[in-house]
Structure formats: C-alpha cells, structure tokens
C-alpha cells in the first residue's frame, strides 16, 4: 500500500475545519458547500487558487491513495454526481473516513503513537 504524505499544518487546519462543519450538519452550507468535494471546497471556501501549495498537497495525497488515476473518488463517478445533486457530499462515509484518517495521521505523529 502506498504511504500517503502527511499533511502540512495548513492542510491539517483545512481538514479539521471541513470535518467540524460536516459533523455539525453542514450548517447553512457555509463556509463550505454540500455540493462539491474536498478540492473544490478548498478553493471556493478558502479562496485558494488551484496553484497554491495546500491545493497541490491535497491533490498529491489523493493521487497517492487512489493511484488508479481516477479523479472522482469516494464511491465513484455515479456516487459523486448523485451526492452533488443531493447536496450530500459532506455525508459520504468514504470522504469522512479519508478526512478523519488524515487528521489521525498527524495526531499519531505528534503524540509518538
């Protein structure tokens, strides 16, 4: 299995903010959107250009984890499209697990576990 690069403090902050929003029921669809995935949420909500380091870091982590070259993750293209239509991207169990795992990676490293 490919090792996923650890998150920078900036990317970790994004993951924590997104997860807190998702776990609180995605209130008022702000600061994130229920209809887009992590990459687009990062750009839209944080006003981060696609060329910013944090965006490339997220992209690299996803490519390492899903090395089959698919750009639509967490359940496949049909699931992605359905979640986008339904406004339920924040409820996707694979996406939630991914974010929790990236946070745990950094917490484990910081606690020596």
What confidence tens digit (pLDDT) does each residue in 38-69 have? 988 888 776 666 567 777 888 888 888 876 65
Torsion over CA: 13, 56, 25, 23 (sign): negative
Q: Enter the pTM of the model.
A: 0.85
d(CA 110, CA 69): 31
Q: In this predicted model, what pLDDT tens digit does every residue of 6-27 receive, in sequence order?
A: 998 889 999 999 999 999 999 8
Torsional sign, CA 65, 23, 32, 110: negative
């Amino acid at each position: 299995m490919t090792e996923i690069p650890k998150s920078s403090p900036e990317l970790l902050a994004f993951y924590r903010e997104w997860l807190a929003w998702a776990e609180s029921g995605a209130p008022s669809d702000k600061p994130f959107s229920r209809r887009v995935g992590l990459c687009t949420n990062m750009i839209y909500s944080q006003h981060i250009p696609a060329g910013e380091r944090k965006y490339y870091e997220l992209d690299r982590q996803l490519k390492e984890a899903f090395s089959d070259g698919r750009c639509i993750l967490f359940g496949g293209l049909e699931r992605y499209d359905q979640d986008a239509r339904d406004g339920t991207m924040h409820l996707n169990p694979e996406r939630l697990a991914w974010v929790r795992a990236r946070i745990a990676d950094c917490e484990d490293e910081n606690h020596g576990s």
